[in-house]
Amino acid sequence: MKILLTGATGFVGGAVLDKLKFNDVRVLGRSRPELAEVDFVAAEIKSNVNYLAALVGVGVIIHSAARVHIMDENVEDPLKAFRDVNTFGTLNLAQQAAVAGVKRFIFISSIKVNGEGTQLNEQYHYNDQALPEDAYGQSKSEAEIGLRKIAQETGMEVVIIRPPLVYGPGVKANFAAMMNVAAKNLPLPLGAIHNKRNLVALENLVDLIVTCIDHPKAANETFLVSDDQDVSTTELLNKMTVAAGKKPWLIPVPMKLIQLAATILGKKSVADRLCGNLQVDISHTKEVLNWTPPITLEQGLARCFHGKVN
């Protein structure tokens, strides 16, 4: 059975390809991955691209390509830009896959379909009403709706996976900045943040994706995924610092004071990310697939600094 993988030059897709590189994998994307021997088809994810030649002999698609969430968006119409790739491009690929006889379509969505955050000690669930709050989350939510419709009309199995923040070797953006702070062991006023968040190690997410390739009970299911460990921002920074081989050094400034100062300085969104809650319930994922995250948060953080993904 040939597997078609999109997004193979990205953070998640690259790790999936590395895991599957000895299997029968074909890569669809704008540029060829570093693995020279990979079966590669050049194409973008768009609503008007013909993929039928790339789909010959394919039994499963792992679709991780996406226009990703951008903090400093500069396009005139962000929702249109996200929809063009994440919604219409995805549904174009899926519709053609169903026509070509592909058995299963695994879609890497986002927890942003559920929303931007939870109340403390409340969780997002796989069957919650979708409540995306930004253009990226809306484009993913609309793709999910369209995929389920295609599944109903054609019989092609659809698997939807919604990860929260994914971290691992090579992670970028805000998480990389936090790693840099931990490695330098800088004193920060973040020693008394008592929120709860769930993250997912790259290795755990990849393990779940691979599990869903042929698991009979994964068909037409939606799965939330995490490390299955709640962690506060303070705990996360402390664990990062330990993983970097340093002794934690955080100053315990009350969380409300941090939020007030950030609001005055026009950085409320930064404070919301540092102090907010985002908890996900993965009991459905564990029960349906008989799956548990193979590594812990601590192991995942250690691998961020030492560059190891199994």
- Give the model confidence (pLDDT) of 42-51 as tens digits: 999 999 999 9
Instruction: Give domain limits for the chain.
Output: 2-162, 173-194+232-275
Residue 69: its pLDDT value, please?
A: 66
User: Residue 74: pLDDT band by 50, 70, 90 thresholds?
Assistant: confident
Nearest residue to 110 (alpha-carbon basis) of 145, 89, 136: 136
Distances (CA, A) of 96 to 46, 48, 77: 12, 11, 27
Is residue 171 within 8 Å of 203, Cβ to Cβ?
no
Q: Which CATH superfamily is domain 2-162 in?
A: NAD(P)-binding Rossmann-like Domain (3.40.50.720)
> Mean of the per-residue pLDDT values for the chain?
91
Greater model confidence, 124 or 1: 124
Q: Is 172 exposed, middle or buried (0-12, 13-18, 19+ CB in 10 A)?
A: exposed
Instruction: From the candidates 51, 124, 126, 136, give the one annotated as an active-site residue.
Output: 136
Instruction: State the DSSP code for 84.
Output: I
Q: How far is residue 298's CA from residue 279's CA, in Å, rounded to a whole number?
A: 18
Establish whether 167 is a catalytic residue.
Answer: no
pLDDT exceeds 80 at position 261: no
Residue 285: its pLDDT value, please?
A: 98
